[in-house]
Amino acid sequence: MNVLIVEDEQNLSREIGIFLQKENYTCDFAGNRKDASEKIFVNNYDFILLDLGLPDGDGMTLIEEARNAEKEASFIILTARGATDDKIAGLNLGADDYVAKPFSLPELHSRMQAITRRRHGLKKNTITFFDFTMDIPNRSVRFGDKEVTLTKKEFDILHYLLLNKNRVLTRLQLTEHIWGNILEDDYDSNYMDVHIKNLRKKLSAFAETDWLETVRGIGYKVSMK
Ligand code: CA
C-alpha cells in the first residue's frame, strides 16, 4: 500500500517512513501544506498520515480538499496529545482515525491495519478465498497445510486484488498501489502482466485460478461471492 506522510518534523517523518517501508508500504513525503496538496491531487494514496501544524498552514484543510477531489485515501491525524478539538474536527471532516504524539509505530501500524479491515469489511486479519487462506500480518498464503511461496510483489498484488474483489483494477491502479507513484513515462504495463502470470502459475499448482480474471484491455479482477 502506498502512504503519504505529511509532517514537517523531519526526524519523525523519516522514522515513520523507515518503519512503514519495513512493513512493505511505499512511502512518499511532504513537509508542508502546499507540497502535500499537490501530491494528494496528482496521486492516489491508500493512507495519508497528517500532521496538522504545518509551516504554511493548517493541515486540516487537506482532508476537505482530498474529499472534494474524490480521493479515497484514509487519513490518520498525527495530533498533539490532548488536542481534543483537533481530533473532533478531524473526525468530523472525514479523517479515519488519529494518534496522539508521541505514539508508538506499531500502534500506528495496527490502526492502519484496522482501517484497512473496516474499509473492506473484514473481521479478521486473514482472507479466505476458495481453498486458500491469506494471513496478512504474516504475509503468507496457504493451501490447506501447504505454503504457497510468493514473492513480496506477488503477495501485495494478490492482497490488493482480494481487498477489491469483484472490482476491476486497472494495471495502472495496481502498479501505483504496489510501487507507489510512478512517472507515466516509466510506466510499463508488462511488469504487471508478468507478475500476474507468475502468480497464476504458483497458485494453479494447488487449484484452479479461473477466479483471477484478466479483463481485456483494462486490467484484472478477482471474482468471488
Ligand atoms: Ca508540525
Q: pLDDT tens digits, residue range 119-176? A: 988 888 899 999 999 999 899 999 999 999 999 999 999 999 999 999 999 988 888 8
CB 72 within 8 A of CB 115: no
Distance 63 CA to ligand 1 centre (A): 16
pLDDT of residue 186: 63
- How far is the centre of ligand 1, averaged over its atoms, from the C-alpha of 6 (Å)? 9
CATH 1.10.10.10 positions along the chain are 126-222
**Which residues are CB-neighbours of 90 under 8 A, at least 6 positions away?**
50, 52, 60, 63, 75, 77, 79, 98
Residues of the chain with CATH 3.40.50.2300: 2-119
Low-confidence ranges of the chain (pLDDT < 50): none
Residue 198 CB neighbours (<10 A): 15
> What are the helix (H) ranges across the chain?
10-22, 33-42, 60-68, 84-93, 105-119, 152-163, 171-179, 189-204
| Ion ligand 1 — residues with CB < 5 Å | 8, 51, 53
The whole-number pLDDT of residue 177 equals 85
pLDDT score for 92: 87
Q: Give the pLDDT score at 21.
A: 95
CATH of 126-222, one of 3.40.50.2020, 1.10.8.420, 3.30.540.10, 1.10.10.10: 1.10.10.10
- Other C-beta atoms closer than 10 Å to the C-beta of 164 total 17
- pTM for the predicted model, two decimal places: 0.86
Distance 100 CA to ligand 1 centre (A): 13
CA dihedral 171, 133, 47, 77 (to 10 degrees): 170
Residue 215's DSSP bridge partners are 219
Burial of 194 (0-12, 13-18, 19+ CB in 10 A): exposed
CATH homologous superfamily of domain 2-119? Response regulator (3.40.50.2300)
Ligand 1 mean position, distance from CA 53 (Å): 4
The radius of gyration of the chain from alpha carbons, rounded to an integer in Å, stands at 18
